[in-house]
Amino acid sequence: MTGPVAAAEQAAESLRRVNHLTLAAPAPGTPGWEDVGDLYRVLGELRLLAERLPQACGQLARHLERSAAGHAYGVDDMADEPAPVLVASAVLALDEAQGCASRTGEHLNEAMSAVAHLHA
């Protein structure tokens, strides 16, 4: 894997696979998905994913801001706004995504705390 695009593609594909693998409830005899302990571990990994996402969003926003300050972006024929407005809009959306991902991590941590007390 080279570069952030490939890493992001792999992360997205991995999450798609988690979605597929968790369609059915944990069941005895299902390797890696047998009981509430496995559910707890999946929650932990999803929490880590959510906790790491804000950093990526913030970095992308900062790169857009720095690039906009250093050179002029162009826009395609379908754009309704000039490049500086589009950059500002993207940065604002990334900042909002950063906050949402942080809250998602907090919620997943709360779910883990509750599930930690469960057993089969």
DSSP 81: S
Which pLDDT does position 31 carry in this prediction? 95
User: Which tokens go with 24?
Assistant: 């059915």
**Helices 36-70 & 3-21, crossing angle to 10 degrees?**
150
The list of the chain residues with pLDDT below 70 reads 1, 68-70
The sign of the dihedral angle between the CA atoms of 76, 13, 53, 2 is negative
Domain boundaries, the chain: 3-115
Helix (H, G, I), strand (E, B) or coil at 8: helix
